[in-house]
Amino acid sequence: MEGAELAGKILSTWLTLVLGFILLPSVFGVSLGISEIYMKILVKTLEWATIRIEKGTPKESILKNSASIGIIQRDESPMEKGLSGLRGRDFELSDVFYFSKKGLEAIVEDEVTQRFSSEELVSWNLLTRTNVNFQYISLRLTMVWVLGVIVRYCVLLPLRVTLAFIGISLLVIGTTLVGQLPDSSLKNWLSELVHLTCCRICVRALSGTIHYHNKQYRPQKGGICVANHTSPIDVLILTTDGCYAMVGQVHGGLMGIIQRAMVKACPHVWFERSEMKDRHLVTKRLKEHIADKKKLPILIFPEGTCINNTSVMMFKKGSFEIGGTIHPVAIKYNPQFGDAFWNSSKYNMVSYLLRMMTSWAIVCDVWYMPPMTREEGEDAVQFANRVKSAIAIQGGRQITWGGGDGGLKRAKVKDIFKEEQQKNYSKMIVGNGSLS
């Protein structure tokens, strides 16, 4: 029975290694520095690969990558300037020029659609999914790539799957156990410990390296934390550094089990699907939650739909009507090591997770920002826009007031924007006084 014994020995050494190097440090929040070394090696290898490509490919293929930026130079001048050139009378045929041009620009290049495709990298990170023009360049490069595939699928993937499994089961078991205790500060402390440990394990399951900036502004109890939403693992990234109360819909299956277990240890706000439709009910429950200063800050992602890493789409104003102090947080992923973007119409959850676990690493930065409150005379929409600009500026992104209400899935523009533009236009014509 040598085979079985050998297998047993390997498995037990494997588990002890995992326990020693990963699990225990997560409990204490200590890092052993293994990830840093890993990242350094990775960066060196990728730099080498990029240099090889640039030497090898003819000029044209590099152009293809940068061409995704845009094909036309849009005329960004505001409407007044565009129309004023030929204006001499109250109304000119020329206005049709301006709008036809704008219309054609929209047809050739739609900003909203562009935003929804993954950022394409100019250098290659040895993942074929990011290289549109994968060509044979040199034997050495291909060998390194093959080696990379082997490392990712055979070494990293099993490790990560194990970790994820351990992380989730610990979370469920831990929170259920803690839930049995009576309410006390011990319970709170324990539940925090359990949450943090399991999140750290899960983050390591994705080989995530996260840098937190401005920790002094971390969201306090009784506040609302607002962040931009790029991928489903945003939640994981934020909860690794602090405990939040989550808001969301009750799911079935594995998610449902996790949700029910978490609620036992500390109060989260989960809604039934039918309740989500009733905005007043939702607002009321959230208000009650933040009124209690002992409860953890709520975590909200107002966008509700994933967005490519370069722009922040319109925030839904409903989240800002609740009141209270808003703590904005900006999350930005570094696409060099692994693209966290989830195009839900293209990939389902399982294949997305698989992609995540077979990337090199997920690197991101989190910036905490000073708290904001709604000022006198500011309505929810203006407040939402203010918060959104702050987050976008922090993350170094272009702000767009784009047409869509988030998502290719529902690309209908709210009428309010159409009306705004037409009001502007007609004010120019009519508002200038006389109509002959």
Q: Which residues bind another protein (CB under 8 A)?
A: 59, 62-63, 66-67, 69-73, 75, 82, 85-86, 89-113, 133, 135, 402-404, 411-413, 415, 417-419, 421-423, 425-426, 429-430, 435-436
Please identify, using beta-carbon distances, which residue of 213 and 409 lies nearer to another protein. Answer: 409
Please identify, using beta-carbon distances, which residue of 29 and 70 lies nearer to another protein. Answer: 70
Q: What is the distance between the terminal CA atoms of the chain, rounded to a whole angstrom?
A: 103
Please identify, using beta-carbon distances, which residue of 73 and 216 lies nearer to another protein. Answer: 73
Q: How many CB atoms lie within 10 A of CB 206?
A: 21
- Are the C-beta atoms of 369 and 329 separated by less than 8 Å? yes
Q: At its nearest, how many Å lie between another protein and the CB of residue 136? A: 12
Distance CA 246, CA 24 (A): 26
Please identify, using beta-carbon distances, which residue of 315 and 360 lies nearer to another protein. Answer: 315
Please identify, using beta-carbon distances, which residue of 272 and 415 lies nearer to another protein. Answer: 415
The tokens describing 173, both together, are 């078991």
The tokens describing 259, both together, are 């949700």
Inter-CA distances, 405 with 293, 307, 347, 401, Å = 33, 12, 21, 10
- Are the C-beta atoms of 340 and 356 separated by less than 8 Å? yes
Taking phi first (over 0 means left), then psi (-120 to 50 degrees means alpha), and beta for anything else, what does residue 225 get?
beta
Cα-based torsion angle of the residue sequence 388, 390, 395, 401 in order, rounded to the nearest 10 degrees: 40
Edge-to-edge strand ranges of the sheet holding 269-271? 208-213, 362-368, 326-334, 224-227, 298-300, 245-249, 269-271
Please identify, using beta-carbon distances, which residue of 96 and 139 lies nearer to another protein. Answer: 96
Please identify, using beta-carbon distances, which residue of 377 and 431 lies nearer to another protein. Answer: 431
Q: At its nearest, how many Å lie between another protein and the CB of residue 222? A: 38
Q: At its nearest, how many Å lie between another protein and the CB of residue 436? A: 5
Q: At its nearest, how many Å lie between another protein and the CB of residue 341? A: 18
Distance CA 83, CA 75 (A): 12
Distance CA 401, CA 417 (A): 10
Distance CA 262, CA 170 (A): 11
Q: At its nearest, how many Å lie between another protein and the CB of residue 388? A: 18
Q: Write the CB contacts of 430 (distance below 8 Å, at least 6 apart in sequence).
A: none
The tokens describing 334, both together, are 């570094």
Q: At its nearest, how many Å lie between another protein and the CB of residue 300? A: 25
Q: At its nearest, how many Å lie between another protein and the CB of residue 247? A: 28
Please identify, using beta-carbon distances, which residue of 87 and 295 lies nearer to another protein. Answer: 87
| Of the candidates 255, 244, 164, 254, the residue with the CA atom closest to the CA atom of residue 204 | 164
Q: At its nearest, how many Å lie between another protein and the CB of residue 369? A: 29
| Of the candidates 191, 242, 235, the residue with the CA atom closest to the CA atom of residue 218 | 242
Give the H or E element holding residue 205.
helix 185-205
Please identify, using beta-carbon distances, which residue of 85 and 370 lies nearer to another protein. Answer: 85
Burial of 248 per CB tally in 10 Å (0-12, 13-18, 19+): middle
Q: At its nearest, how many Å lie between another protein and the CB of residue 405? A: 9
Q: At its nearest, how many Å lie between another protein and the CB of residue 240? A: 35
Tell the residue number behind the tokens 């052993």, with chain if given.
32
Distance CA 232, CA 202 (A): 13
The tokens describing 399, both together, are 């702000």
Please identify, using beta-carbon distances, which residue of 108 and 154 lies nearer to another protein. Answer: 108
Please identify, using beta-carbon distances, which residue of 251 and 418 lies nearer to another protein. Answer: 418
Q: At its nearest, how many Å lie between another protein and the CB of residue 131? A: 13
